């Protein structure tokens, strides 16, 4: 299916997969297994709107692979959600969980809707109905959803309640990213951004001279959950100089460094950056072309393409969004000597703390924030080091190294289990 941007996103992901599979001489049968989705669910469901009318929405849940454990991945609400996108993102989740060494396979879900056009009541009815539609395929030990683009802990609470009401008991492990009062984990909200900051620091130490991310210039595209926490943590804890940020309302540039705490607080109260005066307004294209050391795309897929990759001047591109760089752009960046840290490592902090949340829920024993942060840091640093080792061993780029490592873990699990019957 077309993604509205030319070509299929899944075909792009398969190109990157094949690059790795070729290098590791993966046999055809295993390739077929790992490229196929176990289950693809599409649901069309009605929602009563506030004015009494009825609207039918379309939603998806794709489960890519469960060789290493239950399927795991977020659910997004966006007007451009489509089967090709969700299929690709569920594929990426398999590799993300394998790299992190957490016992899950990959899944993703989404509803084609612009949530900003819905009232609170409509959003709740849509969320509860969608979850009921996919509930037969969801379960604490089978598939565990979580937040993604435009979904949050409030929506996870509705999902959890909907499921619990139907089975007649409170099922804490059914979703992660829940409010802390309802079995959520401390540190889950910030987890993806914190993971990005940890990876950015490690990447600077490895790919650039002069140590970690401290004092380095950073531009961040996207200021949702991931972009805003990345900016906040990089700026306030790691001493990086975040000179540009952006969201759908525009890009904001301050060569002296944006006050990231101010920007973070601004979006907490105003929802977006519209009216933020901590930087000069520039275009999104200008942000991508800024003379910074580190560029962090943290918005949606395909923001760096063959149309603008040539203009990127950063030395490091750290993919906080899923699929932000097309395969063509990837090649252009690599030819320019720019190192790319792949999405399924960079943004894995969210699912890692989801795993901690799931474990805490199963034991009904909850950890301190400090313990969550320490455990997350350990996983992120180990994953980074493991990928670098594979990359060096195969003399390849970091994304291909990450794929090789992830593919070998899932292929091994598949071999150990055997093909049933």
- Residues serving a catalytic function are 108
Site for ligand GLU in 1-20 (CB under 6 A): none
Stretch that binds ligand GLU, among 9-17, 20-28, 66-74, 409-417 (CB under 6 A): 66-74
What six digits make up the tokens of 390?
Answer: 């594979």
Report the distance separating Cα 332 and Cα 310, nearest Å: 7
- Pick the binder of ligand GLU from 176, 230, 360, 400 (CB under 6 A): 176
Q: Does 297 bind ligand GLU (CB under 6 A)?
A: no
Instruction: Output 266 or 355, the one with its CB closest to ligand GLU.
Output: 355
Q: Which residues lie below 8 Å from residue 90, measured CB to CB, with a gap of 6+? A: 37, 62, 63, 64, 71, 73, 106, 107, 108
Binding mask 352-371 for ligand GLU (x = CB under 6 A): --x-----------------
Indicate the helix (H) or strand (E) that contains 29.
helix 28-35
Instruction: Output 75 or 258, the one with its CB closest to ligand GLU.
Output: 75
Instruction: Output 200 or 353, the one with its CB closest to ligand GLU.
Output: 353
Q: Does 74 bind ligand GLU (CB under 6 A)?
A: yes
Q: Does 65 bind ligand GLU (CB under 6 A)?
A: no
Residue nearest to ligand GLU (CB): 74
Report the distance separating Cα 160 and Cα 172, nearest Å: 7
Q: Does 73 bind ligand GLU (CB under 6 A)?
A: yes
What six digits make up the tokens of 254?
Answer: 């301050």
Stretch that binds ligand GLU, among 70-78, 166-174, 380-388, 393-401 (CB under 6 A): 70-78
DSSP 199-229: HHHHHHHHHSSSSSSTT-EEEEE--SHHHHH
- Pick the binder of ligand GLU from 350, 383, 387, 411 (CB under 6 A): 350
CA distances from 361 to 108, 272, 367 (A): 21, 32, 11
Task: Report in angstroms how near the CB of residue 62 gets to ligand GLU at its nearest.
Answer: 13
Q: Does 70 bind ligand GLU (CB under 6 A)?
A: no
Report the distance separating Cα 1 and Cα 11, nearest Å: 10
Find residue 221's DSSP bridge partners. 246, 297
Give the number of other Cβ atoms within 10 Å of residue 212's Cβ. 17
The residues binding ligand GLU (CB under 6 A) are 72-74, 96, 146, 148, 176, 347, 350-351, 354
């Amino acid at each position: 299916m077309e993604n509205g941007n030319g070509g299929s996103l899944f075909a792009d992901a398969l190109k990157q997969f094949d690059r790795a599979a070729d290098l590791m001489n993966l046999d055809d049968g295993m390739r077929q297994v790992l490229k196929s989705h176990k289950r693809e669910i599409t649901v069309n469901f009605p929602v009563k709107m506030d004015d009494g009318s009825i609207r039918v929405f379309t939603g998806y849940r794709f489960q890519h692979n469960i060789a290493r454990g239950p399927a795991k991945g977020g659910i997004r609400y966006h007007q451009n959600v489509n089967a090709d996108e969700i299929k690709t993102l569920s594929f990426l989740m398999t590799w993300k969980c394998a790299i992190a060494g957490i016992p899950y396979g990959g899944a993703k879900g989404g509803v084609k809707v612009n949530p900003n056009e819905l009232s609170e009541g409509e959003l709740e009815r849509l969320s509860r109905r969608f979850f009921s539609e996919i509930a037969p395929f969801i379960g604490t030990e089978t598939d565990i959803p979580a937040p993604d683009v435009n979904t949050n802990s409030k929506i996870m609470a509705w999902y959890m309640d909907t499921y619990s009401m139907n089975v007649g008991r409170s099922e804490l492990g059914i979703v992660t990213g829940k409010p802390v009062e309802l079995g959520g984990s401390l540190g889950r909200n910030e987890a993806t951004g914190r993971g990005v900051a940890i990876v950015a620091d490690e990447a600077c130490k490895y790919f650039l001279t002069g140590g970690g991310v401290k004092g380095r210039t950073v531009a961040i595209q996207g200021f949702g959950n991931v972009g805003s926490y990345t900016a906040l943590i990089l700026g306030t804890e790691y001493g990086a100089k975040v000179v540009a940020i952006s969201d759908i309302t525009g890009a904001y540039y301050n060569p002296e460094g944006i006050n990231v705490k101010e920007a973070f607080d601004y979006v907490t109260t105003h929802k977006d950056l519209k009216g933020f005066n901590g930087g000069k307004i520039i275009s999104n294209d200008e942000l991508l072309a800024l003379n910074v050391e580190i560029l962090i795309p943290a918005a949606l897929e395909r923001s760096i393409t063959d149309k603008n990759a040539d203009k990127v001047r950063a030395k490091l591109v750290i993919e906080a969004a899923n699929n932000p760089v097309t395969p063509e752009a990837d090649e252009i960046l690599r030819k320019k000597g720019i190192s790319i840290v792949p999405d399924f490592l960079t943004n894995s902090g969210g699912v890692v703390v989801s795993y901690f949340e799931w474990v805490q829920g199963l034991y009904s024993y909850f950890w301190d924030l400090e313990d969550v942060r320490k455990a997350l840091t350990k996983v992120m640093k180990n994953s980074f080091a493991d990928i670098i080792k594979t990359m060096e061993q195969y003399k390849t780029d970091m994304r291909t190294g990450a794929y090789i490592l992830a593919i070998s873990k899932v292929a091994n699990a598949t071999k150990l289990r055997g093909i049933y019957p």
